[in-house]
Amino acid sequence: MKISLFGQFGSGNTGNDGSLESMILFLRKMRPDAELLCICSDPKDVQARYGIPAMSVGGPALSGTAARLLNKTFCNLPRRLALLCTALVQFSGIDLLIIPGTGILDDFQERAFGWPLVLFCWCLAARVRNTPIAFVSIGAGPINGRLSRWLLVSAARMATYRSYRDDTSLHFMKSVGVDTIKDYRYPDIAFSLPSPPSSPNESGQPPARQPCAGRGATGSDKPLTIGVGIMKYRGWQSDDPRADKIYADYIAKMSHFLTRLLADGHRICLFMGDVTDELARDDILTALAGAISTSDRARLEVHSVASLHDVMAIVGRVNVTIVSRYHNLVCSLKLARPSISLGYAQKNDDLMQAFGQQAYCRHIETFDTEELLVLVRQLIAKRIDVTEIIDLFNARVQLLLADQQDLLKRTLLPDQLPLMTAGPLEASEVPDRSEGKAAVL
């Protein structure tokens, strides 16, 4: 069986790469005989990291000054047409196309002729070649651009199998006219990644049950270790005229917030989730340089990450987290860390609500520093109880992920591959469940 995996992989986003890794681990378990090919942003990175063949998601490079000028004049459309031809050739002999996780169906920082058109071309080629398409635990919406919406929704309509990682994604797709009656709702597949080796904390309990770092196991008056995930955030649209101000306000507020946490005696672990966040890290450190004492600086750790395993290793060392990137939040909840979400989209709020943590959601553009400090203190005081609540939901998540894996195995990865056509699965091929309710937590 030949399976292609498609997405923004190898681009430096740890959440995207973690989603790919989760699917590779599943396929190697369920179909160890399958030949895998990743269609991605950086084939060299993916091949080196995961040991599978990979090819570029973009069209072939255009040679010659005239060709490049034509391509630029028509907003990269000539290259995308060449991409479609490449995709049609590529899907000869491919049995299944899988889009594993990620927020593939939104237009965050994207224009129509970027990823929306790329996804459409590859799905169209798969459909023409009669290759089944599976969107597995993906995020959808918002899609603000009209053309981007048409391209992404059209790509999704070509799928044989669709599951969404939250209710907002499912409801969004329904609102834009997609027939979701046979679609599913399952947790983000990155939750299926193996957790780091656990080590007992000061109470002798594994980190999944109790906070494992800092000097106090209970109470809110003792300094702890706090993980803070930063993000280079400049608004939803790449061409937002307010981008500079949005970013400057975020850097100023986060710098002040960290100064106050350090003044309270806490140890801070600063980390990222994407290579682009390095700019935010540097700008925050510059702002802190003249605002904190030498002793405070000694309690500020700065970590680089290259994978979700790196993120989990950091999260495993802290008592609570404050994060913005979705998969940093996934890692925090997976390890049962009490968390505050400074989200930039509804997906963060949905994930927190699924774990009973909606009280600890704030928006990255509108949060108030003083109110956030109060919220941190409240979370620290309640963190033992919060940890136990998150643990209960984690058990449910793992059951639901196993359920989806069984469904995928039976319908898309059988030992004997049937002749399949793109389009919705027949009712006889799927469990009898009401719309999108397969995995309500």
Q: Are residues 36 and 181 in the same domain?
A: yes
164 and 284 co-located in one domain? no
- Does residue 206 carry a pLDDT above 90? no
Same domain, 332 and 231: yes
Distance CA 162, CA 105 (A): 12
Q: Range with the lowest mean pLDDT among 150-154, 159-163, 434-438?
A: 434-438
Question: Residue 223: its pLDDT value, please?
Answer: 86
For residue 63, the model assigns a pLDDT of 63
pLDDT value at residue 76 = 66
* 246 in the same domain as 373: yes
pLDDT of residue 176: 97
For residue 350, the model assigns a pLDDT of: 98
pLDDT at position 418 is 46
For residue 151, what are the domain limits? 2-57+91-191+397-429
Are residue 116 and residue 249 in the same domain, yes or no? Answer: no
- Same domain? For 178 and 220 the reply is no
pLDDT, residue 429, reads 37
Are residues 110 and 47 both part of a single domain?
yes
Q: Residue ranges of the alpha helices (H) in 11-136?
A: 14-30, 43-50, 65-73, 77-90, 115-128
Model confidence at 212: pLDDT above 80 = no
Asked whether residue 376 falls in the same domain as residue 401, the answer is no
Give mean pLDDT, residues 261-276: 97
The Cα 121–Cα 80 span in angstroms is 8
Residue 211 has pLDDT above 70, yes or no: no
Residue 134 included in any domain: yes
Give a yes or no: residue 386 inside a domain.
no
What are the tens digits of pLDDT across the range 48-96?
999 999 999 986 666 666 656 666 666 666 766 777 788 888 888 899 9
The pLDDT value given to residue 209: 42
- Within a domain: residue 324? yes
* pLDDT at residue 430, rounded to an integer: 34
- Tens digits of residue pLDDT in 228-257: 999 999 999 888 899 999 999 999 999 999
Asked whether residue 204 is assigned to any structural domain, the reply reads no
Mean pLDDT of the chain: 88
Residue 86 amino acid letter: T
Is there a single domain that holds both residue 145 and residue 24? yes
According to DSSP H, which parts of 290-382 are helical?
294-298, 308-315, 326-334, 346-354, 369-381
Distance (Å, whole) CA 123 – CA 6: 10
> How much is the pLDDT for 70?
63
Q: Quick one: pLDDT at residue 12?
A: 96
When pLDDT is cut at 50, 70 and 90, the band that residue 208 belongs to is very low
In this predicted structure, what is the pLDDT of residue 239? 85
CA atoms within 13 A on the CB side of 359: 9
- If one compares 102 and 223, the residue with the highest pLDDT of the two is 102
Same domain for 371 and 236: yes
Reported in sequence order, the residue ranges of 209-308 that DSSP labels E, i.e. its strands, are 225-229, 267-271, 300-302
Do residues 401 and 339 share a domain?
Answer: no
Q: Measured over all CA atoms, what is the biggest interatomic distance in the chain, rounded to whole angstroms?
A: 69
pLDDT of 158 higher than 70? yes
78, part of any domain: no
Least confident range from 16-20, 98-102, 190-194, 209-213: namely 209-213
* Mean pLDDT in residue range 177-202: 86
> Do 228 and 366 lie in a common domain?
yes
Give domain status of residue 141, yes or no: yes
Report the C-alpha gap between 211 and 227 in whole angstroms.
12
| Predicted confidence band of residue 17 (pLDDT cuts 50, 70, 90) | very high
Residue 182 falls inside a structural domain? yes
Q: Report, as an integer, the average pLDDT of 397-413.
A: 97
The tally of domains found in the chain comes to 2
For residue 224, what are the contacts with CB-CB under 8 A and spacing of at least 6? 211, 213, 214, 215, 216, 266, 267, 318, 319, 320, 380
CATH number of the domain that 221 lies in?
A: 3.40.50.2000
Partners of 259 in the beta sheet? none
Q: Note if the pTM is more than 0.75.
A: yes
Reported as a pLDDT band with limits 50, 70 and 90, residue 437 is: low
